[in-house]
Structure 1
Amino acid sequence: MVLALALLLSVSLVLYLAEQRQQQQQRQVAETASNFTYALQQELSRELSAAHALAAFVRQQDGDISQFNQFARKLFPYYKNVTAFSLAPGGSVAAVYPLSDNQNLLGYEILTDPQQAAAAKASIASNTINVTGPYQLKQGGEGVIGRLAIYSDPAQQVWWGLVNVTLRLADLNSLARLDSMQQQGLQFRLTRLSSDHSAPELIRQSDTEIFKQPLIQSIALGDTNWQLQLVPKSGWSNKLILYRQLALAMLFSVMLAALVAQLIQTRIHKYQLETLVSQRTAALHTELQRQKSFISASNTGSWEFKQQTNQLYGGFEYYAQLGYNQAEFANNQPNNLHECWTNLIHPADKAQACAIFQQYLQHSEPDSIYENTFRMRHADGGWRWILSRGKSLLDEHGWKTGLSVGIHLDITARKEAELQLQLLARIFEQSSEGVLITNAEQKIVMVNNAFSKISGYSAAEVMGKNPKILASGRQDKSFYSNMWQAIASQGSWQGEIWNRRKDGTPYPEWLSVSQITDEHQLVSHYVALFSDISQYKEDEAQIKFLANYDPLTQLPNRSLLVDRTEQALMHAKRNSQPFAMLLMDLDRFKQINETLGHEMGDELLIQVAKRLRKLCRAEDTLCRLGGDEFVLVLPEADANSAAHLAERMLPLILQPYYLDDHELNLSMSIGIAMYPEDGQKFHQLYKHADIAMYRAKESGRNRYSFFTADMQQFHTRNLLLENALRRAIDRNQLSLVYQPQYSLVDQQLFGFEALLRWHHDDFGQVSPAEFIPLAERSGLIVAIGEWVIITALQQLAQWHNSGYRQLNMAINLSSIQFRQENLQQFVYNAIEFSGVPANCVELEITESAMAEQPEKAIALITGLRASGLNIAIDDFGTGYSSLSYLKRFALTKLKIDQSFVRDLLKNSQDKAIVRAIINMAANLGLKTIAEGVETEQQRDLLIQLGCDEIQGYYYSKPLPAGQASEFIQQQLQSNT
């Protein structure tokens, strides 16, 4: 019985140990397969990452591959196992690097090659790197090809072509491990799985045929899968060893029977066995502590995840690497550590990290390795990059047990270093400043894109050469000697220097040179940063020009005029010589500018400047101060010389100007101030010349005038009046008087003309003939005119409200008011506010105002008439009258100027003019009104000539509002 039981136990033990040995062997083989898979994936991923760099190059160049060789030459040294880079626009290889040994690739049609077409099309469809092969390469040898499709417009899915990265299998370090597996007693077969489920493509296998039941490891490469099969040469079980063990078991059973008899000796051995167990337990504890030390020293945190309960457990280091205490963390966080894990992940990484983990748990192969990279929040509030790796534990049948174990590795430093290197590389290549790096022997070892853009040299053309090839020859040896002395003593130098481009053109640059030392403080490199400052130099010259010259006419401006005048003043004072300043202003230039446009006005100014230049001596200074104002400084010139020059200028300016099919006539007014009698400083001479110029304009334009003391008094009064006029409205100094207007048909009062008056406390009653031109020149006429319209309409409204609704109101508009864009709207609003009917309001406009811009005047008058207002031409016959335009104006009345009425009884010409005006108005359907009627005889003659209405002292002088109201009452009473 004892023997049978012993046999049963011993055989069972032998079989159990054989199974454990087989499982251990399978785990070792699985670990070998996983290590090989990881090494192969890392190596291929690293080498094939060049495809992304090449794709980025093609997109950056918008599909232009002319710079491919230069780019590939820089990229190629970083990928030691790559045989060739190639670009295939439309599937046809058009560029390859290196060209030597790879020339037969050019023109190769990938999509028509039966061997590679399917894989290439799969790469286009997947839009990821597709690894195909092995192939017999066109350039010789066996290899694999990584392909990546490029889309010139990813949004529109516009396919550009393929990027190809070729690797020889013989060059892959990871494949060399397969040979070492064979030396370890393993048989292997490495194949590529086809996407169409056809027979796998053999990549490499061991010398002998592989046994049954191989361990299979899937290898994911982009959207391509490889498969590794491994099995020991002797299989998973050795029957000879098993038989020997069974024989020993039987022998052991026999011996066990004998051992039973030796119970006493067994008890002695029990103590020895307990001692041995204790020793082994201590050894296991030591080994466990040793493994924990390894984990702690490697800054690795271990974790376990139970899928059934969704529970995650972490070791001490798991928490420590994130700055947490394991016990404190457990007390302050939810019991579910998996929930804590997801909460600690960076928001930008959370979705992908959780998805990858769940994908591994639910859909991965049993022996596959879990790997993920994400950021986790540290206790200090920062973020740490974590590399998480793990594996699902399997049962004896190779099924997942639901328990996964793994580690967390802090790779923050590595990630930050990678990002910093990427940033530095981008800065180097994308910097707008040129960068040139030499070794200690001053041989160029590196340049960036900006260097090539500025200098015209490609990197290949300057590599290994001395930077002297850029020298322009404008700096002598002493300059460079001082520069290198500064670099040697101070470590750096910067300054402006002239260099020469590849095409031979010199250019200025701002250069900064620094020396770089190694750990032994020996110079290892020199770094030069430079920027092309040609544009800066041009801008600087342009700024200097603009500071002193008028960009339109190229004449000196005010700044240079002041400087030249001061020099002329010093010269004149030193030599007791006179000199003259002429200030010239074009007459009615603003009208031309507004009518024909500013471009035409600018061209006119240029031609005027050219004409004036012809009359200038070399020592004279002709300047443009802006607008249509020019100044000429004449050194060593007396009054006669200045007058003689002005007399030559006036007819020269009067000559016609031809601009774009326009013939223009222009005149000029000139003011002259003399040194020393009119001033001994620039501002005095300029001011007095300006006063004289305005006197010339007031005297009829197209003439010159010398400054006199009387002009100063006149100018001073005008300035004082202008300043006072600016405050006249606020101080209630303005008022309106109203002159009655009568109908000659029934001799009845039908309205008034509003006339402006100004009474100043110091100046007294100022004549409208004096202050209205001032208001027009200063622009105050707009505000004053609006006040007149509002006040006159308010007065008319009072009379209407008093029952005198038959009365009309005539209001004068200045030419400046007439040009205001908002005039029509303002008048409409004022009438609406006052409440008077629009047909009771008449606006009087001068001929000259309408003649300046006839088309605009027609549109404005038409709009005013459409609102119901009446429009009269004031002072008709005194200005430019065009019948062709007159009949187009929507007028209601012509006003005969008092200059024709005054001598109507004495002067036959005035009578003829008045008759002509009345007849013309009648023919055009217009009424006429004569102003300045002072006698009964004038009235009667106007009745005979057919005039419709009159106003003047014959009936009444202009009356203040109160007296006008009394006048109305008297007239109405007399009529009744």
Structure 2
Amino acid sequence: MTDSRPVSPTLATTAVVLVFLVSLLAGLGVVRYQSDQQVRQRQLAAIDMARFHINSLQVQLERNLSSAYALAALIRQGQGEIRDFEQVAGQLLPFYPSVRALALSPGGIVTQTYPLAGNEGSIGLNQFTHPAQRAEALLARDARRLTLTGPVELAQGGTGLIGRLPVFLGEDEGRFWGFVSVVIILSELLEQAELGSPELRGYRVQLWRTLPEDTGGGRQLIAGVDGERLEDAITEPLTLPNGTWYLSLSPPAGWRDTGALAGQLLLAVLFSGLLTFLAALLVRTRRQARELERQVRARTAEISDARNRLAATLAALPDRLFELDEAGHCLPGGQQGEPEPQAAGAIRRALAEAGRQGHSRGHQYVVHQDGREYWFEISLSRRQGSEPGFVLLSRDISERKRAEQEVQSLAQRYHSLIAASNTGAWEYDSRTGELLCSDEYFSMLGRDRADYRRRRGNNLAGIWSELLHPQDREQAERNFTDYLARDEDTLYENQFRMRHADGSWVWILSRGRTLRDAEGRASSLTVGTHIDISQQIRDREQIHFLAHYDPLTNLPNRSLLMDRTRQAIQLARREQGQLALLFLDLDRFKSINDSLGHKVGDKLLIQVAERLRRLCRQQDTLSRFGGDEFILVLPQTTPPGVAHFAQRLLAEMAEPYHIKGHDIRVSVSLGIALYPEDGRQFSELYQHADIAMYQAKAAGRNSYRFFTAEMQERYSRMLALENGLREAVARDQLSLVYQPQYSLAEQRLIGFEALLRWQHPELGPVSPAEFIPIAEQSGVIVPLGEWVLARALEQQAEWHRQGLPPVPVGVNVSAVQFRHPGWCERLADLLGKAGMAAGGLELELTESVIMDNPQQAIAVMDSLVRLGVRLALDDFGTGYSSLSYLKRFRLSRLKIDQSFVRDLLRDEEDRTIVRTIISLARNLGLDTVAEGVETREQLELLQRLGCDQAQGYYLGRPLPAEQATALLRQAG
């Protein structure tokens, strides 16, 4: 039973107001939350950007300021003097692109500067008395560390930074000598740090610092927008030798998007208003429903008796009979009672019709009873006689009505199914040539069926002439005509494109069947459906594209390349012509990818593909074979033509690429194989071009090489060595020899360097210079390096068991081994198995190993030092080590490469480099080891230069374990 109590107006109003307030507060809360999240995301993005540029600026500053430490080392070595200052400074300056000048100031007075041109005015300047420099000079001297002044207006023009490094001499470094000054151009420094990059142009940027209290304090703007401190800015610090710089970023319009916020607030208010309107409408509807319910109850009571009489009448006769007088009133005394009130309208219409023509049929009415519908159809006829009137017959047609409704419902469901499946129905009459189409048929073409029919009619030829694609029309018409001509009960199927109302083309799958009678004779009607298969066609085309093309560059991939190459080879074979396959690899692409990111690397590959595409002819095939490798197939060409093409290609590739504010230069290495001389199948041509490409790289890159038989021999040897390396450990072909290392001051044995040797059963002794690069490229270097470490530690353990004096053993570590995950943990396991202290093991690292990723290298080196392992920097001076990083590496020794020792007696530059390395190592608290000492004269000169230790054939050749044991026993 429903609740008939009226709704209180006051209660209804209160509920509506409450709905408005709750929905408004909820909407405002959501808007505030979303706005705060957007602000937080923008601030996090700005923080990441600021940290990137701060780190870049710090790296550039430390790199340029490290030049001061190099000069200071030379001053200490020369006890306050630098011979050939201009030559030394001239050699240093190119390594520091932002440094404009280097100066020496003994006692604080500038006496020498390089370059002198443009800096003459600074000669003789006393930094302790100069008003603008006195405070900073005193601060640098008293703090005994490098300080950074600026920005300042430079005497030679422009704005720059001045780095002052105080130099102290004497054994205890207690005597102040003066300053080494480095002048850095601020604009170039900021440009290298990319503070003007496009990604910062959407912000107000300030680079500033807080001046030291000794120099007056206060806030100094270094670069960026002028004015007061930025409001609501994010700020990241940059720690420098004399303080901290700060980078502040702030959007001009603030972090919060006020326009979007206003729009969201308006939406929240509108949403609250809509909920309030719905609540008020619900209250009103409920009132009306209660009033209607009251009226229904009253009306139901009035017709209750009539309903009972009607039920009895319906139960008695299937067809009920009534007698009516001339006025249409039911005569009393009949067994059927009176007709239902619902029949009154139908009876009046029937009486009017019977009054005109004597009878009436087909008038219907409905009676609702027990939740169901009962349909009746009345027939009425005039009765003649003494008492004229009418006879009325009422027949129950409910079952027939329900059947009709079921048929109509089925039809509606069919049309709904057609609409939901994006399928259009059509019917063609071959006698008239008319094509009747459903609404869905035209909807999938973006058209209105009624409007199109009114303007164009239903003629099949006209519809196809206007809507079918010109390229598909002839075939579609022929297929349909052929189907109609066949006297077979088969399915018609066709596929074509039709014009959409917006001008695009829609792919249609048309299916149909000719209607036939019970005896199988064909009628003139053919019915069918149209299905939009455009997405299926696009998906199929996309699958085909992904199967045959590279998605990044849209060039043919390996599968399509091989197919096209086979076709080109077949054509060349028939025409007895030539064909060239070029294997192209970008030089040092990995360093670009690692330093600038994969997005820049991808854009570089796209631009490389575009340049190559412009160089190719229509009959040529260009493919991205994988990574940074491309293959070009040039049919109908000759060796001179290929060489000319290769030269053009190298010149085109050498032009700079402009990507995201970076000017990138990248060269390529080309390997060329010719058909039929170098191979008659794709696999042979590809393999030989690959070999030639590696020869081009070995020759210095940025060049091309034709495949030759000699290359094949070298490749076969390299392949044999690679395969042999994989089994060398198991077959006991490897051994270690130990080269002694001596202290130059004490003339005593201080350690060994373990060197790997390989005796190949067929090729004989193989040089490490040949098989180590192969091991690194193939990945064999990891187990190979582990074997070397294990054997060296086992030998140390054996010396310990024999009671021999402990000496450290140095083991070379490759870049692949150093970066291998879990290497430090594996080294700890090897130390534990050998039962040796980590202090007896020294790992020798090259500059390329640690400078490829300095931050990662520092983390690994810290882990090794925590184990107790000693670290040495091998071949120092042949690579590029930043002094700012060198002082952070936890090294024990620097090893001077033998290339500097070899010409030490004849080459003044080599002597200067060795002298500088020794001085630098001493200032950093490191020992120096000279490699490749082969003569007494070299040894004596190294002693005079202050070198600590040495090794080489003059001191001792690499020894097998037994001879090294004897030497160690003799030294003990």
Matched, 1:473 2:457: no
In 1, Cα distance between the equivalents of 2:300 and 2:281? Answer: 18
Matched, 1:584 2:584: yes
AA in 2 matched with 1:506:
W
Partner SS for 1:957: coil
Residue 573 of structure 1 and its aligned partner are, at CA, apart by 5.2
Partner SS for 2:957: coil
The residue that corresponds to 1:52 in the other structure is: none
The residue that corresponds to 1:410 in the other structure is: none
Matched, 1:798 2:960: no
The residue that corresponds to 1:506 in the other structure is: 505
Contact kept? 2:805, 2:968, Cα under 8 Å: no
Contact kept? 1:738, 1:753, Cα under 8 Å: yes
Q: Give runs of aligned pairs for residues 285-324 of structure 1, distance below 5 A.
A: none
In 2, Cα distance between the equivalents of 1:771 and 1:114? Answer: 92
Partner SS for 2:731: coil
In 1, Cα distance between the equivalents of 2:422 and 2:515? Answer: 19
TM-score (normalised: structure 1): 0.54
Residue 560 of structure 1 and its aligned partner are, at CA, apart by 4.2
Cα pair distance change 1:829/1:483, threshold 3 Å = farther
Q: Give runs of aligned pairs for residues 694-705 of structure 1, distance below 5 A.
A: 694-705=694-705
Residue 795 of structure 1 and its aligned partner are, at CA, apart by 2.7
Larger gyration radius, structure 1 or structure 2: 1
The residue that corresponds to 1:860 in the other structure is: 860
Q: Give runs of aligned pairs for residues 527-606 of structure 1, distance below 5 A.
A: 528-569=528-569, 572=572, 577-606=577-606
The residue that corresponds to 2:93 in the other structure is: none
In 1, Cα distance between the equivalents of 2:675 and 2:760? Answer: 37
Partner SS for 1:757: strand
In 2, Cα distance between the equivalents of 1:175 and 1:651? Answer: 108
Cα pair distance change 1:832/1:666, threshold 3 Å = farther
Partner SS for 2:296: strand
Cα pair distance change 1:649/1:492, threshold 3 Å = closer
Cα pair distance change 1:911/1:563, threshold 3 Å = same
Matched, 1:628 2:628: yes
The residue that corresponds to 1:489 in the other structure is: 488
In 2, Cα distance between the equivalents of 1:807 and 1:175? Answer: 124
AA in 1 matched with 2:491:
S
In 2, Cα distance between the equivalents of 1:505 and 1:634? Answer: 38
Contact kept? 1:91, 1:111, Cα under 8 Å: no
Contact kept? 2:549, 2:560, Cα under 8 Å: yes
Q: Give runs of aligned pairs for residues 844-923 of structure 1, distance below 5 A.
A: 844-923=844-923
Cα pair distance change 1:596/1:834, threshold 3 Å = farther
Partner SS for 1:490: coil
Cα pair distance change 1:132/1:753, threshold 3 Å = farther
Cα pair distance change 1:531/1:445, threshold 3 Å = closer
Residue 624 of structure 1 and its aligned partner are, at CA, apart by 2.3
TM-score (normalised: structure 2): 0.55
Contact kept? 1:111, 1:117, Cα under 8 Å: no
Cα pair distance change 1:829/1:769, threshold 3 Å = same
In 2, Cα distance between the equivalents of 1:929 and 1:491? Answer: 93
Cα pair distance change 1:482/1:576, threshold 3 Å = closer
Matched, 1:434 2:423: yes
Residue 930 of structure 1 and its aligned partner are, at CA, apart by 1.4
The residue that corresponds to 1:930 in the other structure is: 930
Contact kept? 1:809, 1:841, Cα under 8 Å: yes
Contact kept? 2:479, 2:494, Cα under 8 Å: no
Matched, 1:615 2:615: yes
Cα pair distance change 1:479/1:844, threshold 3 Å = same
In 2, Cα distance between the equivalents of 1:758 and 1:896? Answer: 26
Contact kept? 1:178, 1:188, Cα under 8 Å: no
Percent identical: 44
Which of the residues 134, 144, 155 maps onto 2:296? 134
AA in 2 matched with 1:932:
G
The residue that corresponds to 2:379 in the other structure is: none
Contact kept? 2:653, 2:666, Cα under 8 Å: yes
Larger mean Cα displacement after TM superposition, 547-556 or 895-904 = 547-556
Partner SS for 2:488: helix
In 1, Cα distance between the equivalents of 2:562 and 2:307? Answer: 82
In 2, Cα distance between the equivalents of 1:951 and 1:114? Answer: 103
Deviations 1:912-950 (A, max 9, x none): 221111111111222211122234443333232222222
In 2, Cα distance between the equivalents of 1:189 and 1:493? Answer: 56
Contact kept? 2:858, 2:888, Cα under 8 Å: yes
Residue 768 of structure 1 and its aligned partner are, at CA, apart by 0.8
Cα pair distance change 1:921/1:116, threshold 3 Å = same
Q: Give runs of aligned pairs for residues 101-140 of structure 1, distance below 5 A.
A: 111-112=283-284, 116-118=288-290, 134=296
The residue that corresponds to 2:241 in the other structure is: none
In 1, Cα distance between the equivalents of 2:597 and 2:833? Answer: 37
Residue 529 of structure 1 and its aligned partner are, at CA, apart by 4.8
In 1, Cα distance between the equivalents of 2:646 and 2:490? Answer: 67
Partner SS for 1:134: helix
Residue 775 of structure 1 and its aligned partner are, at CA, apart by 1.3
Contact kept? 1:583, 1:693, Cα under 8 Å: yes
Partner SS for 1:649: helix
In 1, Cα distance between the equivalents of 2:526 and 2:282? Answer: 46
The residue that corresponds to 1:652 in the other structure is: 652
Partner SS for 1:956: coil
Residue 117 of structure 1 and its aligned partner are, at CA, apart by 3.9
Contact kept? 2:426, 2:530, Cα under 8 Å: no
Residue 503 of structure 1 and its aligned partner are, at CA, apart by 4.9
Contact kept? 1:437, 1:447, Cα under 8 Å: no
Cα pair distance change 1:727/1:594, threshold 3 Å = farther
In 1, Cα distance between the equivalents of 2:841 and 2:754? Answer: 11
In 2, Cα distance between the equivalents of 1:175 and 1:736? Answer: 120
Cα pair distance change 1:143/1:651, threshold 3 Å = farther
Residue 896 of structure 1 and its aligned partner are, at CA, apart by 0.8
Question: How many residues are aligned here?
Answer: 606
Q: Give runs of aligned pairs for residues 292-371 of structure 1, distance below 5 A.
A: none
AA in 2 matched with 1:134:
V
Cα pair distance change 1:453/1:735, threshold 3 Å = farther
Cα pair distance change 1:134/1:779, threshold 3 Å = same
Partner SS for 2:889: coil
Q: Give runs of aligned pairs for residues 90-101 of structure 1, distance below 5 A.
A: none
Contact kept? 2:692, 2:706, Cα under 8 Å: yes
In 1, Cα distance between the equivalents of 2:416 and 2:736? Answer: 76
The residue that corresponds to 1:686 in the other structure is: 686
Partner SS for 1:652: helix
Cα pair distance change 1:187/1:539, threshold 3 Å = closer
In 1, Cα distance between the equivalents of 2:568 and 2:832? Answer: 62
Matched, 1:760 2:740: no
RMSD value over aligned CA atoms?
4.6
Residue 828 of structure 1 and its aligned partner are, at CA, apart by 3.3
Partner SS for 2:536: helix
Q: Give runs of aligned pairs for residues 5-44 of structure 1, distance below 5 A.
A: none
Larger mean Cα displacement after TM superposition, 521-530 or 953-962 = 521-530
Deviations 1:420-457 (A, max 9, x none): 98998799379646263769999879788xx7874556
The residue that corresponds to 2:814 in the other structure is: 814
In 1, Cα distance between the equivalents of 2:308 and 2:893? Answer: 107
Contact kept? 1:444, 1:462, Cα under 8 Å: no
Larger mean Cα displacement after TM superposition, 670-679 or 690-699 = 670-679
In 2, Cα distance between the equivalents of 1:719 and 1:928? Answer: 39
Cα pair distance change 1:705/1:499, threshold 3 Å = closer
Deviations 1:235-284 (A, max 9, x none): xxxxxxxxxxxxxxxxxxxxxxxxxxxxxxxxxxxxxxxxxxxxxxxxxx
Residue 606 of structure 1 and its aligned partner are, at CA, apart by 1.5
**Unmatched 5+ stretches in structure 2:** 1-273, 316-331, 342-368, 373-402
Residue 698 of structure 1 and its aligned partner are, at CA, apart by 1.1
Cα pair distance change 1:705/1:134, threshold 3 Å = same
Cα pair distance change 1:113/1:698, threshold 3 Å = closer
AA in 2 matched with 1:497:
F
AA in 2 matched with 1:649:
L
